[in-house]
Amino acid sequence: MNKPFNKRLLSLLLGWNGLFAAARLQAHPNAGRYGDKLRTSRIVKYTFIILVVLSTLSTFTSIVIGVDNLVTLSFGEYFTYQLLPPSVLAIALYALMAKRDAAKAWSYGAIVFLLGSLSGILILSLIMQKLYSPPTWFIELPLSLASAMIGTLIGIKWGIKNATAV
């Protein structure tokens, strides 16, 4: 049985996320019960999960390859062994995050990306005891930004597809 469309709740949604919220509200009228507020606990949780999982993967690949061998890798090997696996994993994590709340996925994704990046720089700088920027930042930053954006897009499409299929 089709539930009535909640137009009053939909009228509260503003901005370009409104299209995704409209699709979700048609399938699940109670989907916007938290309003336009972003949940801080969700932001902290996803930032922590993404930071820990990606750090663990990077540490594991560095141990497997060997820290001394990283210097001798060609760019193709470095990209394949050190940059591609975290990017694919980040796409999956951002997609899962965006799937849970397609209406606010871009906001969550941007905040989690910024907090995760700043936390990573802060933690690395504390370990190095100086402000540290990796020499490959001009490759890693656009790649991680693209991973976050692609993962968020996939998650939004996935979330809307699941919401309309119900």
Q: What is the pLDDT of residues 101-129, one digit of tens each?
A: 888 999 999 999 999 999 999 998 999 99
**Residue 64 confidence (pLDDT) above 70:** yes
Burial 33-47 (b: 16+ CB within 10 A, else e): eeeeeeeeebbeebb
In this prediction, residue 16 carries a pLDDT of 44
Tell me the whole-structure pTM to 2 decimals: 0.75
Task: Summarize pLDDT for 2-43 with one digit per residue, the tens.
Answer: 454 444 444 444 444 555 555 555 445 455 455 568 889 999
Q: Confidence band (pLDDT; 50, 70, 90) for 136?
A: confident
CA–CA distance, 61 with 48 (Å, rounded to integer) = 20
Q: How far apart are CA 39 and CA 33, in angstroms?
A: 12
Residue 67 — very low, low, confident or very high, per pLDDT cuts 50/70/90? confident
How far apart CA 35 and CA 165 sit, in angstroms, is: 23
Tell me how far CA of residue 156 lies from CA of 73, 133, 139, in angstroms: 37, 32, 26
